[in-house]
Chains A and B, each alone.
Chain A
């Protein structure tokens, strides 16, 4: 069994253990982080459009006791980096169709991270894009801030969910390629 695993994608290399024996746990933790972030965004949207709160005061759940969290570019950039690192580190465990979707997610998140990096740099240096009075994303020129990040988070989340679905419900051929702990023993037996 060991020799079999070492020949499969993801079973060797820099993140072999993470993408092998610990892939299931790591994906669960990563998904929990993503869902917690979504919970904050959806609560914020509900506060704005459902409860009619002033937009600056609609700070999600954690932003109510800790208002600085919402306006901290470091926090937003930090989350973007965590996401980017997660997509990159966990990618090797994906095979077949799910690999393509996960890679697409990684690419989109990379751009999202660049946008947050630009915001962070503007906040730190005081030099703003387009002579704007506030730090501005490139796409923010046409889409206001809340909607823009709703859009970015959505286009990152769509391929991620598809990749997760395909990874957890692989075809027989994909099951044979899988070496991570997400693979079901029964499915593996049938595939072989």
Chain B
């Protein structure tokens, strides 16, 4: 390698090789895709979607089981293809009727299944064509006395659900690891030795 460098000294720089051009083009394309993603993220904020509010909130801790679970539909007064199912700590279904839309809320009555983690699965097709669906959960802990059906919805513990998602430990570790791995993979892809 040193010999080659010595021999090249004094010569004009060699024209870019086709492989080098391909690499540069690939980097430009990758940078363009990244830029497009950033622009989408910067200007694509779904402001209307943020008006969806689940009660009880995702991740919230309640003193008693709620009498119903509801989802405010972001201003929509009706919806189709409704689904809202709530399962209790044992995994058994605790939503007792079919979900309905009333006063702009998708709601379903829930029976008290005791303390533990409850999961909510919901879906609805809004009049503007948007389909909303998701999984959420809340916990009932009997710290403040026995469960009182109907006492919680609308109260302080029923926070606007999805605005309170937290980046917990395992997610943070996984995401950091993944960002590192993606970086290494990109380096492997773009900085691999050139074939001559």
Report A's interface with B, CB cutoff 8 A: 24, 28, 31-32, 34-35, 38-39, 41-43, 45-49, 51-57, 61, 64, 67-68, 71, 130-134, 144-145, 147, 150-151, 153-154, 157-158, 161, 164-165, 168, 181, 184-186
Contact = CB atoms under 8 A, between A and B. Distances in A.
A71 B179 CA distance: 24
Interface stretch (B8-16, B142-150, B151-159, B184-192): B184-192
A108 to B, nearest CB: 14
State the majority secondary structure of interface residues on B.
mixed
Given A49-B165, A54-B52, A133-B121, A158 B181 contact: yes
A35 B186 CA distance: 8
Contacts of B165: 48-49, 52, 55
A42 B93 CA distance: 33
A31 B189 contact: yes
A132 B136 CA distance: 14
A132 B91 contact: yes
Contacts of A150: 171, 174-175, 178
A36 to B, nearest CB: 9
Given A35-B186, A130-B91, A131-B91, A56 B171 contact: no
Contacts of B196: 185-186
B85 interface: yes
B18 interface: no
A49 B182 contact: no
Contact of B40 (A28, A64, A147): A64
11 contacts: A24-B195, A31-B185, A55-B58, A56-B134, A67-B130, A68-B131, A154-B181, A157-B178, A157-B181, A158-B177, A164-B185
Given A38-B178, A132-B91, A168-B193, 19 more contacts: A28-B189, A34-B185, A35-B185, A39-B37, A45-B171, A45-B175, A49-B166, A55-B58, A56-B162, A67-B131, A131-B93, A144-B135, A144-B137, A147-B170, A150-B178, A151-B174, A154-B181, A158-B177, A186-B196
B181 A42 contact: no
Contacts of A68: 131
Contacts, number: 127
B185 A145 contact: no
A56 B184 contact: no
Given A42-B182, A54-B162, A133 B87 contact: yes
B96 interface: no
B87 A132 contact: yes
B185 A52 contact: no
A33 B137 CA distance: 33
B134 A51 contact: no
A168 to B, nearest CB: 5
B50 interface: yes
B195 A184 contact: yes
B167 interface: yes
B178 A154 contact: yes
